[in-house]
């Protein structure tokens, strides 16, 4: 009987999974495998929040496979060596998987596929993660895009692909299952129980993702174009971690989206899915952006490296309530509202003059949706140094951003409870609180809540001076 290794990675689902469908078409026995190849990712290995999510996603995939009479074989080590060992143990003659697009994975996968084919093993990879793979969209001259809008227009010229599926018999288990590590052996859960907030905020299963998608499309999508900017409302999809781990595929999301009438909200949500595609397009064609700015003039930017300031930002103690609310939401839930992500990123790279790489590293460690492509694109956008980046001289004002998008303080007071009794007029500039009002509100500035780490005007002027210095140098 033919036996196929189905190698799962960032595609932890059975529906709309090309590798799974290909194995079904081949028939025979299946050996599903997940390899925890932590060292292959090097400095880009998953952070604590993403590892927490991965643990639960693998547990969920194990349950999905059990429904088909199969097990998930877990191994730790180098991907190539583990696969070769499993081929020998099981007598399998084919390995199917779905592609990943991080630069280090592309290199590993190329070597693995070549070695397997040289050994006479059928090796095949598909696309479970994107609507259009990075090389499928090109400019008129055949090059890559660096600006989102023309990229989105190019995508619109071809129809969106449909989810892949195949009806037929369930797969067969192998005659003998190879040994497997336990899920706990992978060491994905934290030693210190900081994940209480994550457990309360998320259902990290495919069912949880489908429920989230369905509820969003039914109840929130019509208002999404405006509600997505209001952090105090549940107005976003919160699908990013499900898309990142592949518990939901983008083809599935778009197919569900298209079953709803056209609206401004539907159009806006679709553009966000295409922005995710753009992130992968940029990373694939410009892999150096993981460490260097796409706009090379920023290589000479006079970034500061003040560990104390960085720590204050990470802990949400900058003295700017909307910034601190966002950083505390991140720590408590492993996620941050998108509008607030832009505010906190602008504050770090402009008010504090810290490199976008400092922010990218912290988000990579603390976000459950820490997608390397999206995270890199977003931080270079905030830093003014990447593809389609916001001009560096556009500095978010953390006071007016709070007043505009959280006018009643619903979001800010949730995550900065020491300000819960501060009147609305002072909420986003609490340093202006009269002493008598501080006493009434039970919040003494400098004791219960910090003074601003830097004055807004001074921070903005310093940022513009730094930007002018690299313009002069050029």
Q: Which residues are catalytic?
A: 272, 275, 303, 338, 356, 379
For 75, phi then psi, to 5°, come to -135, 155
Tally the C-alpha atoms within 13 A of residue 438's C-alpha that lie toward its C-beta: 15
In terms of Cα–Cα distance, which of 76, 122, 55 is closest to 334?
Answer: 55
Query: HSE-up of 179 (CA within 13 Å, CB side)?
Result: 4
Instruction: Give which of 345, 352, 305 is closest to 322, Cα–Cα.
Output: 345
Q: Which residue has the tokens 């009002």?
A: 437
Q: Give the burial class of 41: count Cβ atoms within 10 A of its Cβ; 0-12 exposed, 13-18 middle, 19 or more buried.
A: middle
| 167 to 7, 16, 20, 256, 436: CA distances (angstroms) | 21, 12, 12, 20, 71
Q: What gap in Å lies between CA 154 and CA 143, rounded to an integer?
A: 12
145 alpha-carbon distance from chain centroid: 21
The CB density around residue 187, as the number of other CB atoms within 10 Å, is 13
Say if residues 167 and 305 touch (Cβ distance below 8 Å): no
């Amino acid at each position: 009987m033919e036996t196929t290794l189905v190698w799962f990675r960032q595609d932890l689902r059975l529906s709309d999974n090309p590798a799974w469908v290909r194995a079904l078409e081949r028939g025979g026995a299946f050996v599903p495998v997940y390899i925890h190849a932590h060292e292959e990712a090097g400095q880009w290995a998953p952070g604590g929040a993403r590892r927490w999510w991965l643990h639960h996603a693998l547990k969920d995939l194990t349950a999905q496979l059990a429904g088909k009479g199969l097990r998930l074989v877990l191994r730790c080590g180098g991907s190539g060596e583990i696969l070769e060992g499993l081929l020998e143990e099981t007598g399998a003659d084919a390995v199917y998987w779905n592609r990943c697009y991080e630069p280090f994975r592309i290199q590993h996968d190329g070597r693995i596929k070549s070695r397997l084919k040289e050994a006479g093993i059928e090796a095949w990879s598909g696309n479970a993660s994107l609507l259009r793979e990075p090389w499928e969209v090109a400019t008129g001259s055949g090059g890559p895009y660096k600006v989102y809008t023309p990229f989105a227009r190019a995508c619109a010229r071809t129809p969106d692909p449909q989810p892949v599926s195949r009806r037929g018999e369930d797969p067969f288990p192998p005659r003998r299952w190879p040994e497997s590590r336990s899920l706990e052996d992978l060491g994905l859960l934290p030693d210190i129980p900081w994940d209480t907030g994550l457990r309360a905020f998320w259902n990290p299963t495919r069912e949880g993702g489908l429920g989230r998608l369905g509820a969003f499309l039914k109840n929130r999508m019509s208002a999404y174009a405006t509600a997505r900017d209001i952090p105090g409302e549940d107005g976003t999809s919160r699908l990013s971690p499900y898309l990142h781990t592949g518990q939901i595929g983008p083809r599935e999301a778009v197919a569900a989206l298209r079953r709803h009438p056209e609206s401004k909200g539907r159009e806006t949500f679709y553009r966000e899915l295409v922005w995710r595609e753009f992130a992968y397009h940029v990373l694939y064609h410009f892999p150096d952006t993981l460490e260097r700015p796409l706009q090379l003039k920023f290589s000479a930017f006079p970034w500061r490296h003040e560990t104390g300031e960085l720590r204050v930002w990470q802990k949400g103690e900058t003295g700017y309530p909307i910034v601190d609310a966002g950083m505390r939401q991140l720590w408590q839930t492993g996620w941050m509202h998108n509008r607030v992500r832009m505010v906190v990123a602008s504050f770090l790279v402009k008010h504090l003059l810290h490199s976008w790489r400092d922010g990218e590293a912290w988000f990579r460690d603390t976000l459950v949706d820490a997608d390397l492509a999206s995270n890199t694109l977003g931080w270079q956008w905030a830093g003014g140094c990447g593809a389609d980046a916001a001009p560096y001289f556009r500095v978010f004002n953390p006071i007016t951003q709070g007043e505009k998008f959280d006018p009643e303080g619903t979001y800010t007071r949730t995550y900065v409870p020491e300000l819960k009794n501060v009147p609305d007029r002072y909420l986003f500039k609490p340093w202006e609180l009269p002493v008598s009002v501080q006493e009434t509100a039970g919040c003494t500035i400098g004791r219960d809540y910090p003074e601003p780490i830097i004055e807004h005007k001074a921070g903005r002027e310093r940022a513009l001076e730094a930007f002018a210095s690299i313009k002069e140098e050029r």
